[in-house]
Structure 1
Amino acid sequence: MAGKRYSRELRERAVALVFEQVEHYSSQWEAICSVAAKVGVSGETLRKWVRQAEVDAGARPGTSSEESAELRRLRRENAELRRANEILKAASAFFARELDPRPPRS
């Protein structure tokens, strides 16, 4: 199921269940596997969601979801500005040649 998207509600509920149930298991991984089977996701997928929730809460070092979204937005904007800059450079060169009073060299 590569690329399958889960709803935000499902992700939030599954992560909350892990945090609620973790004390009933000998490890967080056991809690993750148990909850993952109940909600119909893989254990690894749920583990990633839990780790990201811990980062977002400040309990674990890493890049928060907000920071990641902002970085993606800025990268897209940067790429768009680079494309626009290249177009403007090409247009500038074109019009400079058109307006040059010297005859073209043969």
Structure 2
Amino acid sequence: MPKPYPQEFRDDVVRVARNREPGQRLKQIAADFGISESCLTNWMRAADLADGPAPGAAASPDGDTRELKKRIRLLEQENEVLRRAAAYLSQANLPGK
């Protein structure tokens, strides 16, 4: 396994990649520093996670999605209860009972 790059080197490469000129590709930046594009992409992702959410960014989409799925599940359960109650009550009102 190759020796890992120093953190300072990683930070410099990520900074250059983030401040790249329009039209400059990550593949070229990675080649200039002698690393693979996938390595640079992983470093950038790790740096984004370490930096935390961007200022002014909304709440995490995962949290919003989780809350919405929870709400949908609750509404589906309530709908099922009402459907069963309607079926039961319609059976109780049949003539001959």
Task: Please give the TM-score of this superposition, normalised by the length of structure 1.
Answer: 0.47
> What do the CA deviations read for 1:4-26 (whole angstroms, capped 9, x no partner)?
xxxxxxxxxxxx93x43356x49
Q: Equivalent of 1:40, from 38, 41, 46? A: 38
> What do the CA deviations read for 1:22-64 (whole angstroms, capped 9, x no partner)?
56x4961259822497232797xx87x48x927x625532135
Which one scores higher on RCO, CA 8 angstroms, separation ≥ 6? 2
Q: Secondary structure at the match of 2:95?
A: coil
Q: Equivalent of 2:95, from 81, 87, 103? A: 103
Q: Which stretches of structure 1, 4 residues or longer, exceed 4 Å deviation after superposition?
A: none
Number of positions where the alignment pairs a residue of Structure 1 with one of Structure 2: 79
Identical aligned pairs, as a percentage? 11
User: Which runs of no fewer than 5 residues in structure 2 stay unpaired?
Assistant: 1-8
Counterpart position of 2:52: 57
* Larger Rg, first or second structure (1 or 2): 2
CA RMSD for the aligned pairs?
A: 4.2
Task: Please give the TM-score of this superposition, normalised by the length of structure 2.
Answer: 0.51
User: Which runs of no fewer than 5 residues in structure 1 stay unpaired?
Assistant: 1-15
